[in-house]
Amino acid sequence: MRFHYLLLASIVIGSVSCSKKAETGSEGDLKKKKMIARADSLELPTEYVAPPGDPLSHHTAGYAKIMCSAVFITGLKPEFAAENVGYFTSPYDQRAKVGKPEIDWNRKSVSIQLPNGIKRTAIYVGDQGCVTLPEGIDSLYYKPHKIASTLPDGDKTAWPMGEVLGNASLPEGVDDEKLKQALEAAFEPADGLTAAFVVTYKGQLIAERYGEGVTRNTPLESWSMGKSLTATLMGILIQQGVYKLDQPAPIPEWQGDDRAKIRISDILHMSSGIRIRAPQDPDYDPSIGYPDHLYLYTGGVNSFHYAATRPQQWPPNTVGRYRNTDPVLTNYLIRLAVDKPGEDYHAFPRRALFDKIGIRSMIMETDPYGDFLTQGYEFATGRDWARLGNLYLQDGVRNGERILPEGFTKFVSTLAPAWEADGRPIYGGFFWLNGEGEYPVPKEAYYMAGAGGQFTWMIPSHDLVIVRLGHFKGSAKGTDALKKAMALLVQAVPQHQ
């Protein structure tokens, strides 16, 4: 028997911890000091220039975009969204300083007024999702357009290319009771705000469950899981022979200076060495001003040009830092490659990936210039993230076609050298690693992760993909619930032989 559960649980407001991979205590402090000292010893003599503009205006731009996506993509009620989703670019305390979101249902936009009377607006544009308008400007610098899919009706197509599950029994060896317990654990307590939980074993969907108001067709905020999607699109171009991992990245703004030595692999390893500030930096000082890491979401600028014009802080492949410049630059390389022969840039992900593996729901949002911001602005269903996870478990092959190059799955799931040098066995190629055993699964497991408790886990030893999506405010409790569910799931299925 297959288990397909729908949770109609009440939503209880709880506290949230938005920090990821945080370390506390003397051991963590010592590690942080060593990381800072090592980075300081390698630092190049370039100057940091903070992003322009008012931080509250940037936060409010993020708030408007979050609300726009929550209402017009996910279908959440505005009151629930304002309280529970997307704190990453719009912290809760900043929301209290500005006006109430104004929803224009006809125009499909959200505007929020600053104390000085200026309004920040985001507008829903269809297949490119919701886009933040630049401050003082009421239009975009590109024309959004519909992206056609070649996929047949999902409700008439069998899994995994469609949504029809059929009457197949559970695979041999799967523990029915443990599976039930795992699903229960993923949704407890209610204020963990788990919205979707999907499990596949050997590619077969064996369990799923959804939160109140969410179905298998609901696209949910995914945040930095989009970085792994970005890596996948780059992998496709490498498979097509457009790029190579070890080649210098052909960023136009870098030609003629030392940044021209930065390789594509360095960028995918989050070790390009480009100088910006991110809240995840071990020496991050919020008093310096608004971080570029967030500005690349909320600035309303040409994000590709902004990232490409930042100076070099360290030599490439020496210091690993979790910064949005690197996925933004990867997306820049993708656009350069697709635009060159005159192909439709916005249709590329669907043509080259989504239609090949059965993904129907994915919406990739852009900056006002039409550049994909899939360092974290993307929405998809739990099932569609499971499809992407299974592409990696199948070594980049689907339906007999090699979509990702041989060895690419190993590349993204292998510890990045610069992170290894810092004593942090936790990052590969836009994928996280379980190298410290923080999660109750084998250390060789790897995963996509996004702020607010968004996860897609690939566990090769058990042929498992586990997807957990949740509303941001429940992040801390929701992640704890995920860990309990994961421990049960690796007991519920046989280890891969």
User: CB of 371 within 8 A of CB of 331?
Assistant: yes
pLDDT recorded at residue 19: 35
User: CB of 137 within 8 A of CB of 121?
Assistant: no
Give me the amino acid identity at 291: P
Kindly report, residue by residue over 62-75, the tens digit of the pLDDT.
999 999 999 999 99
Model confidence at 12, pLDDT cuts 50, 70, 90, reads: very low
Mean pLDDT of 215-226: 98
Least reliable range by pLDDT among 124-128, 153-157, 286-290, 361-365: 286-290
Answer yes or no: is pLDDT of 4 > 50. no
User: In 255-269, which positions are buried (b, 16+ CB within 10 angstroms) versus exposed (e)?
Assistant: eeeebeebbbbbbbb
Model confidence at 26, pLDDT cuts 50, 70, 90, reads: confident
Measured on CA atoms in the order 379, 384, 386, 387, is the torsion positive or negative?
negative
- DSSP H helical segments within 340-451, as ranges? 348-349, 355-357, 382-393, 408-412, 417-421
Measured on CA atoms in the order 261, 265, 268, 270, is the torsion positive or negative?
negative
DSSP string, 200-223: EETTEEEEEEE-TT--TT--EE-T
Rounded (5°) CA angle 250-254-255:
75
pLDDT recorded at residue 497: 63
pLDDT recorded at residue 349: 98
* Residue extents of the structural domains in the chain: 200-492
Which H or E run contains 177?
A: helix 176-186
Mean pLDDT of 243-247: 98
Give me the amino acid identity at 344: D
pTM, 2 dp: 0.94
Q: Angle 225-239/382-393 helices, nearest 10 degrees?
A: 40
Mean pLDDT of 449-455: 97
Q: Nearest to residue 62, comparing CAs of 83, 89, 34?
A: 89
Residue 456 DSSP label: E
pLDDT recorded at residue 24: 52
pLDDT recorded at residue 69: 98
Kindly report, residue by residue over 52-109, the tens digit of the pLDDT.
999 999 999 999 999 999 999 999 999 999 999 999 898 989 999 999 999 999 999 9
Kindly report, residue by residue over 289-346, the tens digit of the pLDDT.
999 999 999 999 999 999 999 999 999 999 999 999 999 999 999 999 999 999 999 9
pLDDT recorded at residue 27: 82
Answer yes or no: is pLDDT of 147 > 60. yes
User: CB of 259 within 8 A of CB of 266?
Assistant: no
- What's the longest Cα–Cα distance across the chain? 64
Indicate the Cα dihedral angle 179, 180, 186, 189, nearest 10°.
Answer: -150
* Pair of tokens at residue 120: 């920040």
* Pair of tokens at residue 496: 């891969």
What is the distance between the alpha carbons of residues 81 and 434, in angstroms, rounded to a whole number?
A: 31
Q: Output 265 or 92, whichever has higher pLDDT.
A: 265
Answer yes or no: is pLDDT of 13 > 80. no
pLDDT recorded at residue 496: 76
Mean pLDDT of 419-431: 97
**Summary count for the chain: helices (H), strands (E):** 16, 16
Measured on CA atoms in the order 244, 246, 248, 252, is the torsion positive or negative?
positive
Residue 99 DSSP label: P
Answer yes or no: is pLDDT of 21 > 90. no
Percentage of residues of the chain with pLDDT beyond 90: 91
- DSSP H helical segments within 277-381, as ranges? 292-298, 303-308, 325-339, 348-349, 355-357
Write down the CATH number for the domain with range 200-492.
Answer: 3.40.710.10
* Pair of tokens at residue 73: 């993509």
Give me the amino acid identity at 493: V
pLDDT recorded at residue 18: 33
**CA 328 to each of CA 9, 231, 325, 401, 484: distance values in angstroms, whole numbers, following the listed order:** 37, 11, 5, 28, 34
